[in-house]
Amino acid sequence: MGDIDVPALQGVNFSVIRREFVCIMGPSGSGKSTLLYIVGGLMRSTSGTIRIEGQDLVSMTDAERTNLRKTTFGFVFQAHRLLSALSAEENIAVAHDIAGHGDQIDPEFYPVLSLLGIEERLQHKPQALSGGRAAARGDRESNCQSAHDLVGR
């Protein structure tokens, strides 16, 4: 198999305002995941400009993009990575601590958990949560220092 360039995301131009809720929809293969990976700094764009809070992702190093993800937004993946010995709340606290925000969850974050329908299940272990709830919790915990921004898939 040779390397084949597949043009993706040609002519894409959009802005998202802080705390705006955006849904990206399209048929399989239309570039939804590619868009999220590039906007989230998980994948490097080969052209164009991507700015998050005034910072140009295209010119950032891997380490700088990682730091931006740790401090600016989180991801919601359907394939979640949770510590099975910890409760949902403890998983959130661990990720919060890794992001450099201490091991206590910011009180303003609880309304987000309530909106996601998992606030009442925070003491449950991952195996006791449905797949959707685990995914919702799994990356609410990821990088969110507060109810900032979430990028999902």
59: domain range?
A: 1-73
In a domain, 122, yes or no: yes
Residues 62, 127 share a domain: no
> What is the pLDDT, as a whole number, of residue 141?
43
Q: List Cβ neighbours of 61 (8 Å cut-off, separation of 6 or more).
A: none
- pLDDT score of 23 more than 60: yes
> What is the pLDDT, as a whole number, of residue 135?
47
Give the mean pLDDT of 102-129: 81
Q: List Cβ neighbours of 57 (8 Å cut-off, separation of 6 or more).
A: 38, 39, 41, 45, 50, 51, 65, 68
Q: Which of 42, 152, 148, 144 is nearest to 98 (CA)?
A: 144
| Cα 27 to the center of its chain, rounded Å | 21
pLDDT digits (tens, 9 = 90+) for 24-73: 888 777 888 888 888 888 888 888 888 888 888 889 999 998 888 877 87
> What is the pLDDT, as a whole number, of residue 55?
86
Question: Structural domain tally of the chain?
Answer: 2
Chain mean pLDDT for the chain: 75
Q: DSSP per residue over 11-53, as a string?
A: T------TT--------TTSSHHHHHHHHTTSS--SSS--EET
In a domain, 153, yes or no: no
In a domain, 55, yes or no: yes
CA distances to 46, 97, 99 from 134, in Å: 33, 19, 20
Global pTM reads: 0.55
